[in-house]
Structure 1
Amino acid sequence: MRIKWFSLVRITGLVLVLTYHFFQNQFPGGFIGVDIFFTFSGFLITALMVDEFGRSRDFKLLAFYRRRFYRIVPPLVLSVLLVVPLTFLVGRDFVTGLGRQIAAALGFVTNYFEIATGGSYENKFIPHLFVHTWSLAVEMHFYIIWGILAFVIAKAVQHWAPPTRHQTSTASLPMFRLALFILAIGLAVYSLMSMFLRAAGLSDFSPVYFSSVTHGFPFFVGSALGTVTGIRYVAPSFQRSWRAWTWQSAAGVMALSALTLIVLGDLLQFDQLITYRGGLLLATLLACVMIFSARVLHEKTPNVPEPKPITFLADVSYSVYLFHWPLYVIFSHLMTNWLAALVTTSLSIVLSALSYYSLEPLIAGKPAHFFKWPLQWRLVKWPFLILTAGLALLTIQVTRTAPQLSRLETNLWLSGITQDVDKLNATQAIATAKPAPAVKAATATGTKPAKGVSIIGDSVTLGTRDYLGAHVADSSIDAEGDRTMDLAYKVMMEQQKNHLLREYVVICIGTNALNDYQEQLMKVVNDLAPGHKLVLMTPYNAQATASWNSSKLGELERSLPKKYNFITIADWGKAAPKHPDAFKGTDGVHFGGIHAGDVAYAQVINDALKVAQTRPAKS
């Protein structure tokens, strides 16, 4: 029995996820689309469990797992086999650690693999191609646990409420419903409290977002709703409640809850504590309202068919979710973001339709068709097996030869080691040698800094540190991955306090710009001691639009020399696009190890230093 209008719930979740992945800065909270999927899955699975028990007074665990296997695994395997050949369109960095990613995806442990490796959708470097399968892992863990619990409850009900000659098969159904409801509420509260408590004090919320324990509550909230409404075997309380509704009120509530979810997707942030202490729960509850009103609307519109385009998009939504992320990662590095989003969506829908209507039914031994032509296994068996074997061999070869560290990661790792050694040597030299005259002056007067250049940067600077040190005269470099302006400020103030900050201070920060970028930047400007000259390196991100914080920071920096005569701009944001070879096969931000990027980056700094020589120091 298909419930009309449930398709709109699935589509809402899919649209939220797609917009989040495609336009993360403009729609930062779209990740709640996953919580809609979780809630709906919990509802639907539990409602079907209730139907099965009402029909047969039993719940067959192995049959349940078999149905889940055929629905989840074939599209997952297909997405892996079809995506891997497309990685030849981009650099080898995109297949770094691919074997472990695929093993985690097929083993349904991607969520814990990402926690262990520090993965995230908001990864600053090249993201994992199959990071999105973390949600499948959480879903599969729910199916395993909830299936076992439902099986135990069914057996307990059979034992404690055996049928009599005069009972119908549904006589013990209320007991089964109640037991599932109480258990679902208990597990939802436990999971929700785990997220609430474990989120405290975190700067990176990926561990609580990915964990099956902390992010399992939407499934159980949906399950509780599923015991109340059901599909065929509807609870009496639900029957009484929906009679008071009109189809207009059901449609209105459904539309309002969907609109509220969209607004929520625009407001929530992945890195805000409120998201994990109420935001995801609110999204889950709104999803329940959508599900409930859709269920009522189904009852109120018996003669209104669901539009076929809506049904189609709902059918392929799971496979679209599987295909879209790796395709987007690849295409977004080959074309503009809007075009990449369009190509990704179109190709994902085509491949998903092929999977849902043709391949999945064939694998499960069910009737299948390709457009309007019926497919028979005997006719497509050998072409299908040969193509699958070829793709499997190609996937194995790619994973066998895939690097374990990307070129960028290797470069940053080596640069970090070199920087640590330099710091140790500098500390030892300071501890054992007499201060240089310039340093003495700085210590005595507090106004005359040492000659030279102090460069404070993020991972972009770290990636080119060796070249920069050799080609920017008399420079010291302190760079670190994921460094934001507030962290750069702390480094600057520490060097200033210890009289190590040199005359020219170059701040190469901004790609990781936070919402309070203006306040952070002005602290650097205002608290820099007199006698220094400040050079601000504008950030560059090939994917950034004018609405991104990094772009806004760059514009703010360009406006400062008119107000502060000790500030000079090193405009990397405008110079970098003139050197496309430096970013070929990269994430569009880093160029570590690419000589053209090293040369261009150092040149921009040196040009700015020449201009700074003609400007006064801070007074």
Structure 2
Amino acid sequence: MRVKWFSFVRVVGLTLVLSYHFFQNQYTGGFLGVDIFFTFSGYLITALMIDEFGKTGQFRLFSFYKRRFRRIVPPLFLSVILVMPFTLLVNRDYLTNIGRQIAAALGFTTNYFEILTGGSYENKFIPHLFVHTWSLAIEMQFYLVWGLIVFLLGITVRHFVQSRTRALAIFENTVLWSSLLLSIASFATMFLRARGLTDYSQVYFSSITHGYPFFVGSVVGCLAGIKTVRPAFERTIKNWNLSVAVSVMVISSAALIGLGCYLKFDHLQTYQGGLLLSTVLAGLMIYAARILHEKTPNSDEPQLITYIADVSYSVYLFHWPLYVIFSQLMPNLAAVALTVVVSFALSSLSYYVLEPIMIGHTGRWFKHSVTWKQVRVPFMTALVLLIGTTAYATRLAPQMTTLENNLWVGDLYQDVDQMNMHHSMIMAATKPTTQKVNGAGQPVPAGMPKGVSIIGDSVTLGTRSYLGAHVKQSSIDAEGDRTMDLAYKVMKQEQQSGILRQTVVICIGTNALDDYKEQTMNIVHALAPGHRLVLMTPYNAKAAPDWNSSKLATYERTLPAKYPYITIADWETAAAKHPEVFKGTDGVHFGGIHAGDVLYAQVVNSALQQADKTPLKK
């Protein structure tokens, strides 16, 4: 039984996901489209489980697993081998650990693989080509666990209740209350674990914390059903007229689209209510669509909507890796257009022809039947070539991206430099000192090291070797994911140890938090007299004006007027004029691109020249 108007639910979910991936900066909350799919899956699977129990008096677990395997695995396998030839068009950084990515995708463990490797759609480095299969991993984990739970519930009910009708009623209620309790437990876990986090990937990707949309969908499946319908739902069908069903469906879908404009991946409220609200709205849309099916016995869904819904799963699988690849080869709008065309073409081929043949059925291409016998030779030839290409690309894949390698090397150099610097400071402290003056003729406090102390984040770490060689008398302390409060701690520690140099350069801000003003002023006030301060504005090519990093840059530019010992190194302005140094990167880091190293050092040196003309902090 195909329920009409459910296609709209799938289309809304797909539209939100594609909009988020294609226009992440403009449509920041489109990731909630995945929660629509989760809720719908929970509804559909649970309703079918109840139907099976009502018809046969049992729920057959291994038949359920077999059906899920045949629906999920063939499209996933095809998407992997059909995408891999496209990876030969981009640089090898995009193949980093591709073998492990493929293994995680096909093993339905991508969600935990991404948690362990720090992956995300908003990854600061090279995005994983198969990061989007995290949702399939959670879905398959839900099927495995929920299928077993329902199977055990069914056995228990049939053991104690002989009447088929009474057994069905008890089974429905037991499944309903189990779904409700599990959804509450999962959401409560997300709510509590999200507290205090700055990276929410671990709660977003976890099947434990992000499993509740499936169970909310299961609740709706128990209430609305498909073939097995509760008396209460039959009364609802009678009480709701057509306009009410349409209104609820339209309003809930519009609210979901609007919510996508508001939610952000890195905001706490997303995990403490935003995703739950989107799940409830998805449940309402599904409920209304189920009623609309009963109210429109003589109407059909638009064929275009039905087609998009049919191929939506495959489109989801194809679009992300294709978009990542195409967006490195052309402007974004062109990449989006090409991704949509190629994704739908490959998805149509997969859904209508290849998948049916792979599970022993007859495929269809428009009005023509396609059998295994007809396509056996070209299918096997193409399969061998595609698997060979995948194996070749996997063999070429590096273990680290160029940027990650630079960061790793930078860490090693930093450790060596820090030991040498501490040794030099200890030796210098044993020698008598004389009064020194700076370039402006001002006295330098006794014992204060000359030169520049640079405290930075991963951007600085990526160019550390070049920067250290081209900024005279400099010491560099840089670390990935460093925020302003952590830079404050480094500065205080160096200051207390007597190794903080006269001019302090703070290259922090891409990871700016909501309290960026307070954290910046902590540095300004904690800096001891006799120093100068240079603040380097952060740059992110993807940042909108309302991002914390953008607001921090604007705020930092206002400080020299109030504090004459502060100078601005305007990296944000300089970097924006040279987009070529970020080609093929995440728009923040330029590790491995020499022109980026040169530009970064020029901005620092130019600011230092200006700072040398300003007074010291009194």
Give the TM-score, by structure 1 length: 0.91
Q: Check whether the contact 1:141–1:212 (CA below 8 A) recurs between aligned residues.
A: yes
- Which amino acid in structure 2 is aligned with residue 354 of structure 1? L
Partners of 2:151 and 2:182 lie apart in 1 by: 16
Deviates more, 1:365-374 or 1:523-532: 523-532
Q: Aligned pair in 2 of structure 1 residues 438, 518: CA closer, same or farther (>3 Å)?
A: farther
Partners of 1:335 and 1:549 lie apart in 2 by: 29
Partners of 1:462 and 1:350 lie apart in 2 by: 43
Q: Aligned pair in 2 of structure 1 residues 367, 389: CA closer, same or farther (>3 Å)?
A: same
CA deviation after TM superposition for structure 1 residue 100, in Å = 0.7
Alignment of structure 1 residues 177-576 onto 2, 5 Å: 177-431=172-426, 433-434=428-429, 437=433, 450-525=449-524, 528-546=527-545, 548-558=547-557, 565-576=564-575
Deviates more, 1:415-424 or 1:98-107: 415-424
CA deviation after TM superposition for structure 1 residue 578, in Å = 5.9
Partner of 2:36: 36
Q: Check whether the contact 2:318–2:343 (CA below 8 A) recurs between aligned residues.
A: yes
Instruction: Tell whether 2:23 aligns with 1:23.
Output: yes
Q: Aligned pair in 2 of structure 1 residues 131, 388: CA closer, same or farther (>3 Å)?
A: same
Instruction: Tell whether 2:81 aligns with 1:86.
Output: no
CA deviation after TM superposition for structure 1 residue 336, in Å = 3.0
Deviations 1:81-120 (A, max 9, x none): 1221111222111111111110011011111212222222
CA deviation after TM superposition for structure 1 residue 255, in Å = 2.0
Q: Aligned pair in 2 of structure 1 residues 579, 192: CA closer, same or farther (>3 Å)?
A: closer
Deviates more, 1:579-588 or 1:383-392: 579-588
Q: Aligned pair in 2 of structure 1 residues 332, 568: CA closer, same or farther (>3 Å)?
A: farther
Note the residue ranges of structure 2 that are not aligned, 5 or more in a row: none
Partner of 2:106: 106
- Which amino acid in structure 1 is aligned with residue 609 of structure 2? K
Q: Check whether the contact 1:439–1:449 (CA below 8 A) recurs between aligned residues.
A: no
Partners of 1:187 and 1:480 lie apart in 2 by: 40
Partners of 1:261 and 1:433 lie apart in 2 by: 64
Partners of 2:334 and 2:538 lie apart in 1 by: 24
Partners of 1:521 and 1:23 lie apart in 2 by: 31
Pairs aligned (count)? 613
Q: Aligned pair in 2 of structure 1 residues 351, 325: CA closer, same or farther (>3 Å)?
A: same
CA deviation after TM superposition for structure 1 residue 544, in Å = 4.1
Deviates more, 1:482-491 or 1:320-329: 482-491
Q: Aligned pair in 2 of structure 1 residues 549, 487: CA closer, same or farther (>3 Å)?
A: same
CA deviation after TM superposition for structure 1 residue 529, in Å = 4.4
CA deviation after TM superposition for structure 1 residue 469, in Å = 0.9
Deviates more, 1:511-520 or 1:602-611: 511-520
Partners of 1:492 and 1:439 lie apart in 2 by: 24
SS, match of residue 143 in structure 1? helix
Q: Check whether the contact 1:7–1:310 (CA below 8 A) recurs between aligned residues.
A: yes
CA deviation after TM superposition for structure 1 residue 319, in Å = 1.4
Partners of 1:339 and 1:318 lie apart in 2 by: 23
Q: Check whether the contact 2:435–2:444 (CA below 8 A) recurs between aligned residues.
A: no
Q: Aligned pair in 2 of structure 1 residues 448, 15: CA closer, same or farther (>3 Å)?
A: farther
Partners of 1:512 and 1:333 lie apart in 2 by: 24
SS, match of residue 270 in structure 1? coil
CA deviation after TM superposition for structure 1 residue 599, in Å = 2.5
SS, match of residue 536 in structure 1? strand
- Which amino acid in structure 1 is aligned with residue 114 of structure 2? E
Q: Check whether the contact 1:472–1:606 (CA below 8 A) recurs between aligned residues.
A: yes
CA deviation after TM superposition for structure 1 residue 499, in Å = 4.3
Partner of 1:587: 586
Partner of 1:166: none
Q: Check whether the contact 2:434–2:446 (CA below 8 A) recurs between aligned residues.
A: no
Partners of 1:617 and 1:332 lie apart in 2 by: 47
Q: How much is the aligned-residue C-alpha RMSD, in angstroms?
A: 2.9
Q: Aligned pair in 2 of structure 1 residues 428, 336: CA closer, same or farther (>3 Å)?
A: same
CA deviation after TM superposition for structure 1 residue 433, in Å = 4.3
Partners of 2:445 and 2:544 lie apart in 1 by: 42
